[in-house]
A = this chain, B = another copy of it.
Amino acid sequence: MADNNELTPEQTEALLAVRREIDRLDGEILERLAARARCALRVGEIKKGPLYRPEREAQVLRNIAEKNPGPLSTEGVQRIFREIMSWCLGLEQPLKVAYLGPQGTYSESAASKHFGGAPELQPQQTIDDVFHAVEAGATAYGVVPVENSTEGAVGRTLDLFMSRKVSVCGEVSLRIRQNFMTHAADLSQVKRIYSHAQSLSQCNDWLAHHAHGIPRLPVSSNAEAARLAAEDKESAAIAGERAAHHFGLPILFANIEDDPNNTTRFLVIARHDSGPSGKDKTSVAFSALNKPGAVHSLLQPFADEGVSMTKFESRPSRTGLWEYVFYVDIEGHREDPAVARALKALGEHAAFLKVLGSYPVAAI
């Protein structure tokens, strides 16, 4: 690599000057990183408790995004500060985070995105195991899929909140890309399409336009779909790029999801929720008597207090005491006066209410 030799002496001098400037800046950054780390240790001395504060990290990341003058991308500066906070936090002892394994899954990507590179990430075999690790204190935090995921039974995550003493203290969004992969040379040779039901529905428009009439077969996961398609030249799978590589399946059409902003959402769980960050969500679960209009009237306090719902989902109750459990995400922190009043009113009328936690809206 002799590329410097192709430069004129003036260019070489200019290059050296820029590199000296970079070295000077790096020295200044290093000094400030050290000062920042000493501050983190001081916080630990004052608080004598866990250093990790989800609301504080979210505030720092939002602040960085707002003040970023460029030319680095917002993602770039946020990832760099994510790493800085990660190592400052790990000064006293490394944070332990359980996630739905195996390694290489979206859940692992979500854990890294949220916690940076310093923590010890511990893959678990099931969502139940992640909850157990956190509840038993084996890890301080856990990361589990909760919406729109192709990695496992997401309803299970909601059910577990009913029986386990853990709270939601954060959320993570990951962008998900879907691809159409097959050994067939073109679409006309494809006789069936395998995928997780979630992925099939995420590509509904594309399938209706391009693969009308080809049977769609839902299977347990996208990885399983790719495995099946890899064995048979008349089959195709819809799955992520990693599955294509893993099973050696050529991608015939990339990024076929209907919504280009298609994301999978994960929750960060702990034995406590998060303090207010200024831009928060609160997740609650409640049950209602099976009576027409019962749910609607239970939600009335949110409307009265001007609290927006961002998600509403019902699940059959597993205890038999009620017919359904409702999972609702609302904007705001449970300590915000309007939210607190609405939750109090809901609690007085619902057969059962559990506040799963308040946490910062995903900052990166």
Contact = CB atoms under 8 A, between A and B. Distances in A.
Contact of A80 (B73, B87, B102): B87
A87 B73 contact: yes
Contact of A69 (B1, B34, B47, B91): B34
Nearest to A357: B1
Contacts of A124: 245
A123 interface: yes
A218 to B, nearest CB: 24
A88 interface: yes
A3 B3 CA distance: 57
B26 A68 contact: no
A138 interface: no
B11 A25 contact: no
A67 B27 contact: yes
A19 B42 CA distance: 10
Interface string A55-91: 0100010011001111111001101110110011011
B23 A43 contact: no
Given A29-B32, A60-B26, A90-B76, A15 B70 contact: no
A264 interface: no
A275 interface: yes
A36 interface: yes
A248 interface: yes
A-B pairs with lowest CB-CB distance, top 4? A104-B104, A103-B104, A76-B87, A102-B246
Contacts of A169: 1
Number of copies of this kind of chain in the complex: 2
A7 interface: yes
A7 B275 CA distance: 15
A56 to B, nearest CB: 7
A122 B241 CA distance: 9
Contacts of A83: 79-80, 83, 117
A46 interface: yes
A263 B5 CA distance: 36
Given A80-B84, A101-B246, A245-B125, A36 B25 contact: yes
Contacts of A331: none
A236 B19 CA distance: 54
Given A123-B245, A124-B245, A38 B103 contact: no
B47 A72 contact: no
Contacts of A2: 275
A91 B71 contact: yes
Contacts of A118: 76, 79
B242 A47 contact: no
11 contacts: A1-B169, A1-B274, A11-B47, A23-B63, A25-B32, A30-B77, A32-B32, A33-B77, A33-B80, A102-B245, A124-B245
A48 B15 CA distance: 12
A360 to B, nearest CB: 12
A128 to B, nearest CB: 13
A125 B27 CA distance: 41
Contacts of A125: 245, 248
A273 interface: yes
Contacts of A22: 36, 39-40, 60
Contacts of A160: none
Nearest to A55: B1
Nearest to A82: B83
A26 B67 CA distance: 10
A231 to B, nearest CB: 16
